[in-house]
Structure 1
Amino acid sequence: MKGNKKRTATSGTSGISAKQLRMRMTTDDPAYKGMRKIKLSGKELANLPLELFKLAELEVLELSPEREACLFYHVQELPTVIGNLSQLRVLAVDTNKLSFLPEQLSSLLCLERLAVSNNLLSYLPSSFSRLTNLQSLCCSNNRFEELPRSICQLKSLVFLDFSGNSLTRLPQEIGSMDSLESLVLSYNRIQELPESICNLRTLRLLWLSGNCLTQLPRGFSKLKNLDWSDHMLSATLDDNPLEHPPLAIARQGPDAIEKYLSLHLSNSNKPSERKSIY
C-alpha cells in the first residue's frame, strides 16, 4: 500500500503503565490452563513498553503480529530486560524481524515453550543450554546453517522444529536428547544423518522431507515408534534422493529397513570376484 512503511520494534515509553498492563492480563486462555498471559499486537509491537518487563508474575507473553498487521509492525529486537520475567513459561515471538536473541533470555529458567519461527536468526545465545525446563522449541524458517549444539543439552525437550532453514548436517550430540518425541527438519539441506540419531528411542514423529539424503544410518530400524506407511504422517522422507533404502522400502517399516540395510552392508563387504585369465 502506497505511503505505508514497515515499522520495527523498539522498547521504551509507550504511555502504558504496569497497572494498565496488569489489567490486560488474562488467565482464561484454554491453551495455557490458567496461566497469566499478555498479548501485544499491531502498533504495540513497534514500541514495546518497558513496563511490560516489570511484570515478574507474567507466565505467557505473545508478541507475534496479528495477520492483518504483520506487514507493518514487527519486533526487531527483544530488550535485555526480558530476563526480568522470572516466571515466564511461554514466549511467542513468531513472524518478526529478530536477527538475534539477547543473552538474558537464558535467565528465563521457568521457560517451557519458545516460538521464534519466521525470523532472521542464525544463532542462539551462548548460554541457551541453561533453559533446562524447555519442552518445545520452534525455530522454523530462519537462517540457521547448523543446529546449535547447546540444544542437545536440553534434556526436557520434547518438540523441536528447525524446518525451513539451511542445515546441512546434525551434530552427533543429538542422540543424547532422551525426551525428544517430535523432530521436524523438513526443507533443509541435510546430506546425512548421524548414527546417534538412532538412539532417540522416544521419537514418535520425524519429518525429513525436502532434504538431500541418499541413505539412512545403519541402526535406523531401532526407531520402532515411527510409522513409515503411506497413510501415516509420523515420518516423512519425501523429496529426498534416497537410495539406501529406497523410499518404497522405508515405508514398509523398521523390519524392512533392517533387512535391506543388512543385505546391503553384507554385499558391500564381499570381496569382488575376479575372472581367471587362464
Structure 2
Amino acid sequence: MAIYIALLTNLNSLYLNSNQLTYIPDSISQLTNLNELCLSGNQITYIPDSVSKLINLNKLDLRFNELSSIPDSISKLTNLNSLYLNSNQLSSIPYSIIQLTNLNELYLSGNPLDKPPIAIAVEGIYAIREYFQ
C-alpha cells in the first residue's frame, strides 16, 4: 500500500477502517488534497509527522487503534474540524492541540487520560482549551 498510495494525488477521502494496519505510511504526505482520513479499528501505534502535511484535512478518524501519544506536529492541521481519538491508549493530549482553531469536534473517551483529566476531556475541545489556558 505504501508505494502506491502516493499516486492518488487527487483523492479527497480515504477510508481504511478495520484493515489491521499497524502504521501510517510516510507517503500519505503526498495526498495533499485529502479532506478525510479514516483509519479507525486498526492497530496503529503512532501518528507520523508526515500526517501534518495534509493541510486540507478536515476530518481525522483514528478511533480504536493503539495510539499512546499525539505528536505536537498535529497543530499544523489548521483546517481540521473533527478529530476522533476515542479508545486508544492516550494518557495525555499535547498543549499544541489548542492551536487547532477550526477544531470543533474532539473525541477522547475510552483513553486513560491524565492530562487533561478525563472529566475535562469528555466535555470537548472548548473545555480542553480552557484547561490549557
**TM value normalised by structure 1:** 0.44
Supply the distance in 1 between the matched residues of 2:34 and 2:61 (Cα, whole angstroms). 13
Moved over 3 A (4+): 248-258
Is the Cα–Cα contact under 8 Å of residues 46 and 69 in structure 2 kept in the other structure? yes
The answer to whether the aligner puts 1:177 opposite 2:68 as a matched pair is: no
How far the C-alpha of 1:249 sits from its partner, in A, is 9.8
Cα RMSD over matched residues? 2.5
Q: Which letter does structure 1 place at the counterpart of 2:110?
A: G
Larger radius of gyration: 1
Is the Cα–Cα contact under 8 Å of residues 122 and 144 in structure 1 kept in the other structure? yes
Q: 1:133 — aligned with what? A: 33
Is the Cα–Cα contact under 8 Å of residues 106 and 125 in structure 1 kept in the other structure? no
Q: Which letter does structure 1 place at the counterpart of 2:16?
A: V
How far the C-alpha of 1:212 sits from its partner, in A, is 1.2
**Which secondary structure does the structure 2 equivalent of 1:160 belong to?**
strand
How far the C-alpha of 1:202 sits from its partner, in A, is 0.1
Supply the distance in 1 between the matched residues of 2:15 and 2:121 (Cα, whole angstroms). 35
Instruction: State the percentage of identical aligned residues.
Output: 34
Is the Cα–Cα contact under 8 Å of residues 250 and 257 in structure 1 kept in the other structure? no
Q: 1:144 — aligned with what? A: 44
Q: Which letter does structure 2 place at the counterpart of 1:128?
A: I
Q: 2:86 — aligned with what? A: 186
| Pairing partner for 2:96 from 196, 210, 224 | 196
CA deviation map 1:69-114 (0-9, x unaligned): xxxxxxxxxxxxxxxxxxxxxxxxxxxxxxxx23111111100000
Q: Which runs of 5 or more structure 2 residues have no equivalent in the other structure?
A: none
Supply the distance in 1 between the matched residues of 2:35 and 2:20 (Cα, whole angstroms). 22
Q: Which letter does structure 1 place at the counterpart of 2:83?
A: L
How far the C-alpha of 1:187 sits from its partner, in A, is 0.1
Report which structure shows greater RCO (CA 8 Å, sep ≥6).
Answer: 2
Matches within 5 A, 1:1-278: 101-216=1-116, 242=117, 247=119, 251=123, 254=126, 258=130
Supply the distance in 1 between the matched residues of 2:61 and 2:121 (Cα, whole angstroms). 26
**Which secondary structure does the structure 1 equivalent of 2:26 belong to?**
coil
Q: Which runs of 5 or more structure 1 residues have no equivalent in the other structure?
A: 1-100, 217-241, 263-278
How many aligned residue pairs are there? 133
Change (3 A) 1:215 1:133: same
Supply the distance in 2 between the matched residues of 1:108 and 1:133 (Cα, whole angstroms). 9
Change (3 A) 1:132 1:169: same
CA deviation map 1:179-218 (0-9, x unaligned): 00000000000011111111001001110000011122xx
Supply the distance in 1 between the matched residues of 2:102 and 2:122 (Cα, whole angstroms). 19
Supply the distance in 2 between the matched residues of 1:111 and 1:164 (Cα, whole angstroms). 24
**TM value normalised by structure 2:** 0.88
